[in-house]
Amino acid sequence: MNWKKLLCAGLSGALLTGALAGCGTTDSQPSATPAADDIAYQATGLPRDTVLFTVDGREVTADQYLYWLLTSISTAKNAGYLADDTAWEEEIEGTPTADYLKQNAQDISKLYAAVANHAEAAGATVTEEQRAEAEEQLEQMGSMYEMYYGLTMQEWLDQQCITRESYLSLNDAYYQVQNLQSSMEESGELTPTDEDIQNMIDSEGIYNCKHILIAFPTHEDGSAATDEEKAATKDEADALYAQITAASDPIAAFDTAMNEQSDDGRDETTGELLKPNGYTFLSTGSLVDGTSSLVTEFVTAGTALEVGEISQPVETDYGYHILLRQDADNEDTRAAYPNYAMNKLLDQWAEEAKVETTEAYDKLDPKAFYDFMMNMVLEWQEEQQAEAEAQSSASPAVETESPAPETESPAAEPT
- Between the alpha carbon of residue 333 and those of residues 180, 197, 278, 378, the distances in Å are 21, 8, 12, 48
* Average confidence (pLDDT) over 121-126: 92
**Residues ≥6 apart with Cβ < 8 Å to 403:** none
Distance CA 9, CA 362 (A): 32
pTM, rounded to two decimals: 0.76
Q: Which residue has the higher pLDDT, 396 or 38?
A: 38
- 311-369 per-position pLDDT tens digit: 999 999 999 999 999 999 999 999 999 999 999 999 999 999 999 999 999 999 999 99
- 165-188 per-position pLDDT tens digit: 888 888 898 899 999 999 999 999
End-to-end Cα spacing for the chain: 23
Is the confidence at residue 27, as pLDDT, over 90?
Answer: no
- 196-239 per-position pLDDT tens digit: 999 999 999 999 999 999 999 999 898 999 999 999 999 999 99
- 185-207 per-position pLDDT tens digit: 999 999 999 999 999 999 999 99
* Average confidence (pLDDT) over 56-73: 95
Mean pLDDT of all residues belonging to the chain: 86
Distance CA 197, CA 79 (A): 35
Q: Quote the pLDDT of residue 385.
A: 84
Is the confidence at residue 414, as pLDDT, over 70?
Answer: no
Q: Which residue has the higher pLDDT, 295 or 384?
A: 295
132-139: long-range contacts at Cβ-Cβ below 8 A with a sequence spacing of 24 or more? 133/14, 134/14, 134/15, 134/16, 134/168, 134/171, 134/175, 135/168, 137/14, 137/16, 138/16, 138/164, 138/167, 138/168
